[in-house]
Amino acid sequence: MFQNQWHLCLAFFRVGILGYGGGPSSIPLVQKEVVDTYKWMDEEEFTNLLAVANALPGPIGTKMAGYIGYRVGGFIGLCNAVISTILPTIVAMIILLTFLSSMSEKPWVQGMTKAVVPVVGVMLFVLTIDFLKKAKSGLGWSITVGLFIVSFLFVEVAGLHPAILIGLLILAALFSKNREKERERAS
């Protein structure tokens, strides 16, 4: 119990202080801690978590932290994970802005921020490939590529909000006939 709370605190403290570029850039870090390091949830649950988090409004970093905290340690876990994510950086922000607001002009601070950007890009790219591989093993190449292209057209070309697409896919899954079930039974 105590150990779980301590691990939650550690995991989200690391996510909070290493996630440069706001909540979305911390997604790969959360995945690493939650799926690989502490094994609190499997890949499948993490996918659902990301989908729901993306479909709902509000900051994504704290939505993920809060839910994972809740799953691992109930309401206390929820508070623990959210606070561990945000408190260190809020305190840093208040101190820095109150006492030395010229810091962000310092070239070495700007250099640090710039160097982290491509690294986060790589982490997101790796996660993208991960998801495509997992999708392939469940759906096969043609459906995966098809859905990827449809998503691209929908989100990047038409500029529609991803929440709409995710909502439609959820509905499609809920109202479809259970052909999958029979195939699973057969295999």
* Among the listed residues 49, 72, 73, 80, the single contact to other proteins using CB under 8 A: 49
Going by C-beta distance under 8 Å and a sequence separation of 6 or more, which residues neighbour residue 173? none
- Show Cβ contacts of residue 132 under 8 Å, excluding neighbours closer than 6 positions: 144, 148
**Is there binding between residue 104 and other proteins (CB under 8 A)?**
yes
What is the nearest approach in angstroms of other proteins to the Cβ of residue 5?
17
Count CB-CB contacts under 10 A for residue 102. Answer: 8
- What's the min distance (Å) between Cβ of 3 and other proteins? 20
Contact set for other proteins, span 21-40 (CB under 8 A)? 21-29, 32
Look up tokens 């989908």; give the residue.
51
Residue of 5, 9, 16, 40 interacting with other proteins (CB under 8 A): 16
The binder of other proteins chosen from 4, 7, 38, 52 (CB under 8 A): 52
Q: How far apart are CA 66 and CA 12, in angstroms?
A: 10
Exactly one of 1, 158, 172, 186 binds other proteins (CB under 8 A); that residue is: 172
C-alpha pair distances (Å), 116 with each of 16, 25, 113, 121: 14, 10, 5, 9
Contacting other proteins within 149-168 (CB under 8 A): 151-152, 155-156, 161-163, 165-166
